[in-house]
Amino acid sequence: MPETIIESYSVTGSRARMSVRMPWYRALPLSSVADVRWFLDGEPVPRESITWTVDGTTYALDELPPKHDEWWYVLDSAVIEGDAPVENPTGTAVTIALYIPYITTDHGVLLIEESDSR
């Protein structure tokens, strides 16, 4: 499913915006979003500048862990925004790390990381 993560991206001024799809087949609580690593032309978008918007509400990444009762649904896109590290980028890449809370292994809750680039 990683080839379907990025729906679109744009840069306006110093801010970048990307619409992403969930790289999993079932809805997950927002607390399942473990990390987002985003690059424009190979340069990282500063993590502390990244926001996550789903269902009309925007959060900083660090606000997501306690959101057990708010959900990212499979058919809904999330929008991430952050400070653009370069002007006029020609490419983007993202890795989304998700905990799958209902699958446990000998090492704890399953953590998946899926990547996509354009």
What are the tens digits of pLDDT across the range 1-48? Answer: 556 899 999 999 999 999 999 999 999 999 999 999 999 999 999 999
pLDDT of residue 4: 85
Structural domain count of the chain: 1
What are the tens digits of pLDDT across the range 57-79? Answer: 999 999 999 999 999 999 999 99
- The whole domain housing 109 covers 2-117
Instruction: State the DSSP code for 4.
Output: G
pLDDT of residue 3: 62
| CB within 8 Å of 39: residues ≥ 6 apart | 45, 92, 93, 94
CATH of the domain at 105: 2.60.40
Percentage of the chain exceeding pLDDT 90: 92
The model's pTM: 0.92
